[in-house]
Structure 1
């Protein structure tokens, strides 16, 4: 007898839906995403300057001089290494835009200035100030998130409290908007300056040191094997209820994974040992082979073994997108959402990829990701080589794909048999 009370699934969807669609989570996700094109551009020139083939490197050095790669990677410095700066502008802009009565451009410029104010400048003997560029990249990403979210909210609060200068209606909108941001911008920067000054009198000394102290333990967990397994389980589990699990989890964890990626890139450029296994590329290129749930293995099994007309048709439609890690046709067409027959392998397959890849990289059988942002739509084998700069990356992907297919095949055959039985039942009616 129905009680009218919402079940576990409904309560879960309601909570997760509120979190994933909240203005702050959307602003965080979209703001960091705006840095991705620049990261990819910088990665391309990093590959050109550090392509892992000795014959190529010797040829380029002989042709263009010993410092040719430094010149090439100036574009990397101007794009990839500005990740934090771009993120704070993007996060603030998207958050301010979500308030319909707020002009997002002044808000994002104030946030940018607040971000610069957190950076410990160095004054040289000639009186010039120097900014440590590392703080503009992934090192400053956590500060960028905090400034982008909280300082923008403080700015919006002052606008809503009418702590502004109102100009006559005859004044052009551009001038009027700039003066409207005067008082809120002043108090925002004053707040950051007071916090900076207060921290300078403590043993921690700087805001970046404080952020490192707070987030280093969380980062260590997020880039560990248990952390990777937990994150991947949540991604698949949420997808089973129709919630975009990657958006929810990445919105929280992307900052840690991007920072690990950038640290690997810096180590690779300096010809040092790469410090991290779990990075953004670890998930994009080795775990999510075919998309969330590692469904390329399922798509291949469908092409090979499908006997029902419905799954034969779906397999033909999905196999091409699957190679580019696009699997929405499978998730909603199979369907995988709320499907008890395929839920278990949908969770197990990506977890297996985490274990295989982590184990291979930890033991040296597979090279670690070198910090290159390989687009998530890059086909398997190609992405594995580009992400690691080594053939072992492609081989590891092939192993993962084979394991995924073996995990899916038995469950798919049962689902396919059930689909045939349903078709026969319909024909006999």
Structure 2
């Protein structure tokens, strides 16, 4: 059975791990990660989960009708609100690297193409003669540069960079004479590929405009909304995590393989959650990036912090005890390679069941608790995945979320307990045999050596 699974999963993981599109998406989103975490720090200060705190910040006047709360919201506006810009730029840059073309010009071309297709119309309400009137004004819609525009950005990043590279590889470039500075040569070399790309996207925008619509609306309605709807389900989350842990069982980083496909959906849902909590516009989602990072596993893949605690509390073998002590501190910060490869969990059929079962239980219990309203859904604030449980749950939801994390951690300890005790029994037997039958060592005396025997 394991051999059959290995034959299926190993080639699949290798194919995904070498796919230039998935690699570009994964690496491209990493551009925005430090920016979003930095913006989240200010967002946490502005929305600290203490009764009366937001109202207190609103009461502090800073001049010109601005309050301290207004200023604290600016860093999040400069990160979360325009997240799609960072994603488009990062993915285009990474894809240009994958296909060996100009990275910075590829990223710039993608941004230009993305903005070229964007409808510069902002619908809003203005007060005229004491009455509120709905009006359309020219401007860049913040919705499209945020969560709603991410999938359009992904598609345009690939198509625009591919078109740019296609033109350049055919030699359709302006060549400068010798002695011209390299930066000038690169700039003029990019001119024709950029013009061709711009022309193509101009025609696309014109054709859609003739039919009274635009690319952003089409992709959002027919692609992004169905994908987000599919991703925002308990079934999708459970299936993703089953595959994630199967990959880890065979020694493959399942988080990278599955995350390359699933994380863009989760991150988009998280940004929509943040917008919902800030403005009340749209709807909140139970499944999102924070749900995965903070409630599915504790201590890393397999929720192995529960396993480490079980190792320390219920095991007697020196091997497991010592490994538990070494793995405890990294596990608190969600780093679990010492357990994955040291226990081991990799290629260990005995540990496969709890390794997959505990995260699944965490997901189902957390989802049902949030769906029933016992625990608030995650607020979308980007919390580092290394933040210990309890603290992370408090910031992502409130104190009830922190208690849920602790309860699931304890539940995981008892789910892992019978399996790790079976391993402990085997290791104790091995250690006892080693004591009873010590390895004979041959004493070597250098004085007995003679070069005459050679």
CA contact (8 A) 2:272 2:282 kept: no
Distance 1:338 1:202 in 2: 57
Q: Name the larger-Rg structure.
A: 2
**DSSP-derived class of the 2:327 partner:** helix
- Change beyond 3 A, Cα 1:32–1:347: same
Equivalent position to 2:420, from 412, 419, 426: 412
Note the C-alpha offset of 1:129.
Answer: 4.0
- Change beyond 3 A, Cα 1:395–1:167: same
Q: Does 1:113 align with 2:112?
A: yes
- Change beyond 3 A, Cα 1:179–1:220: same
- Change beyond 3 A, Cα 1:73–1:426: same
Moved over 6 A (4+): none
Distance 2:160 2:57 in 1: 47
Partner of 1:196: 205
CA contact (8 A) 1:17 1:243 kept: no
- Change beyond 3 A, Cα 1:272–1:187: closer
Distance 1:33 1:312 in 2: 37
Where structure 2 has 5 or more consecutive residues not aligned to the other structure, the ranges are: 124-135, 440-454
Give the TM-score of the pair, scaled to structure 2: 0.88
- Change beyond 3 A, Cα 1:299–1:24: same
CA contact (8 A) 1:50 1:269 kept: no
Distance 1:341 1:198 in 2: 59
Q: Deviations over 1:236-283 (max 9, x none)?
A: 111111111111222112221112111111111125785210010001
Is 44-53 or 235-244 further displaced after alignment?
44-53
Partner of 2:175: 166
- Change beyond 3 A, Cα 1:165–1:425: farther
Partner of 2:446: none
1:234-249 alignment, distance < 5 Å:
234-249=243-258
Partner of 1:30: 27
Q: Deviations over 1:313-361 (max 9, x none)?
A: 1111100010111111111111111111101111010000100100110
Q: Does 1:356 align with 2:360?
A: no
Partner of 2:188: 179
Partner of 1:104: 103
1:231-380 alignment, distance < 5 Å:
231-271=240-280, 275-380=284-389
Partner of 1:74: 74
Partner of 2:228: 219
Q: Deviations over 1:121-143 (max 9, x none)?
A: 1289xx99411012111211101
**DSSP-derived class of the 2:350 partner:** coil
1:124-143 alignment, distance < 5 Å:
129-143=138-152
Note the C-alpha offset of 1:115.
Answer: 1.4
- Change beyond 3 A, Cα 1:273–1:115: closer
- Change beyond 3 A, Cα 1:92–1:273: closer
CA contact (8 A) 1:345 1:408 kept: yes
**DSSP-derived class of the 1:365 partner:** coil
Q: Deviations over 1:87-118 (max 9, x none)?
A: 11111111212344x22111111111111112
CA RMSD of aligned residues (A): 2.1
CA contact (8 A) 1:166 1:179 kept: yes
Is 335-344 or 20-29 further displaced after alignment?
20-29
**DSSP-derived class of the 1:80 partner:** coil
Note the C-alpha offset of 1:67.
Answer: 4.1
Partner of 1:399: 407
Distance 2:56 2:206 in 1: 52
- Change beyond 3 A, Cα 1:26–1:16: same
Partner of 2:87: 87
Where structure 1 has 5 or more consecutive residues not aligned to the other structure, the ranges are: 1-5
**DSSP-derived class of the 1:54 partner:** coil
CA contact (8 A) 1:274 1:368 kept: no
Q: Does 1:57 align with 2:54?
A: yes
Distance 1:11 1:63 in 2: 61
Distance 1:299 1:245 in 2: 20
**DSSP-derived class of the 1:73 partner:** helix
The count of residues paired between Structure 1 and Structure 2 equals 419
Give the TM-score of the pair, scaled to structure 1: 0.92
